[in-house]
């Protein structure tokens, strides 16, 4: 009598379910890990995968240690998305420069809720001593700004470059000709490089030599001098062009001192 073939032992039914669950858990943790450090490019790919027509706005990171005073784009519901994104690009570029270089607090950026951007470069970044020649490392910074500004040309009413100096003697104004010439030459040279980049419409660029008359710190002690010797770049929309400089300083929270 022939023997019956032995039947293969049954696998426990729970094993298949267990294997499926472990696979799903692994996929879940891989997904969590992948989202722990999302780059701007990858985030856009994810969003556009769900909605190809979506306008992607990368959120601004919030950090109490961040040296840049930047308004969160969520505070700008009435501003064009591409303008806000361009501002964020500038924010990223300056923030990275501060992290990578030895700039300390020599770069600052303020923004107002109506879409005005105010960037300050202290003198030791832009120029040497009493020179009006823009330093090579500063040209690189200006190129980064020009690239970002090219994406918002249609929304820009004016870009103002302001040159400031520091009072040399505590109770005596600077020589008018030397003071104004140096301030004007510096702001003009910054403007020239921005315009030569070809990224910004020349008719929207303005330069002003303001000299010693808008200090942000007492002229003395000498440690304050570098704060007053500075170049400021104001980026404003059409409806903001009529504002006075005093109004702009107040709006972005800059404390300008008064001297006779």
Do the beta carbons of residue 235 and residue 79 sit within 8 Å?
no
Tell me the C-alpha distance between 152 and 200, whole Å.
9
Residue 245 vs residue 6, higher pLDDT = 245
What crossing angle do the helices spanning 176-196 and 136-149 adopt, rounded to 10°? 60
In terms of Cβ atoms closer than 10 Å to its own Cβ (0-12, 13-18, 19+), residue 30 is exposed
Q: What percent of the chain clears pLDDT 90, i.e. is strictly above it?
A: 28
Please state the rounded mean pLDDT for residues 80-108.
77
Identify the band that residue 12 occupies on the pLDDT scale cut at 50, 70 and 90: low
Tell me the C-alpha distance between 34 and 223, whole Å.
47
Residue 113 vs residue 134, higher pLDDT = 134
**Does residue 228 have a pLDDT over 80?**
yes
Strands 117-122 and 107-111: antiparallel
Q: Give the per-residue pLDDT at 64.
A: 39
Tell me the C-alpha distance between 107 and 104, whole Å.
7
Using DSSP, state whether 67 is helix, strand or coil. coil
Q: Give the per-residue pLDDT at 200.
A: 92
Do the beta carbons of residue 203 and residue 156 sit within 8 Å?
no
Please state the rounded mean pLDDT for residues 17-32.
72
Least-confidence region, from 17-21, 44-48, 92-96, 189-193: 44-48
Q: What is the pLDDT of residues 63-74, one digit of tens each?
A: 434 445 555 666
Please state the rounded mean pLDDT for residues 152-173.
89
Tell me the C-alpha distance between 149 and 200, whole Å.
7
User: Which among 67, 64, 63, 85 has a CA at the least distance from the CA of 76?
Assistant: 85
CATH class for the domain made up of 69-252: alpha beta
Q: Give the per-residue pLDDT at 57.
A: 42
Which residue ranges make up each domain of the chain? 18-56, 69-252
Do the beta carbons of residue 77 and residue 132 sit within 8 Å?
no
**What's the alpha-carbon Rg for the chain, to the nearest Å?**
28
Least-confidence region, from 34-43, 54-63, 83-92, 221-230: 54-63
Do the beta carbons of residue 229 and residue 122 sit within 8 Å?
yes
């Amino acid at each position: 009598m022939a023997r019956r073939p032995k039947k293969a032992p049954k696998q426990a039914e729970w094993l298949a379910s267990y294997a499926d669950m472990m696979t799903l858990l692994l996929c879940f943790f891989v997904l969590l890990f992948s989202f722990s450090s999302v780059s701007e490019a990858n985030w856009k790919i994810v969003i556009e995968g769900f909605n190809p027509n979506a306008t992607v706005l990368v959120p601004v990171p919030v950090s109490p240690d961040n040296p840049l005073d930047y308004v969160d784009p969520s505070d700008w519901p009435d501003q064009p998305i591409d303008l806000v994104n361009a501002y964020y690009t500038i924010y990223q570029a300056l923030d990275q420069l501060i992290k990578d270089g030895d700039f300390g607090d020599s770069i600052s950026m303020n923004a107002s809720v109506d879409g005005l951007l105010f960037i300050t470069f202290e003198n030791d970044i832009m120029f040497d001593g009493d020179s009006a020649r823009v330093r090579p490392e500063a040209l690189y910074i200006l190129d980064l700004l020009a690239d970002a500004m090219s994406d918002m040309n249609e929304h820009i009413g004016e870009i103002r470059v302001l040159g400031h100096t520091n009072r040399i003697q505590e109770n005596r104004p600077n020589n008018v000709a030397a003071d104004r010439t140096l301030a004007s030459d510096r702001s003009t040279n910054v403007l020239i490089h921005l315009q030569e980049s070809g990224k910004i419409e020349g008719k929207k660029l303005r330069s002003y030599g303001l000299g010693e008359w808008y200090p942000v710190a007492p002229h003395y002690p000498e440690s304050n001098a570098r704060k007053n010797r500075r170049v400021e770049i104001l980026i404003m929309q059409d409806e903001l062009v009529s504002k006075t400089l005093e109004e702009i300083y107040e709006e972005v929270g800059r404390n300008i001192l008064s001297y006779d």
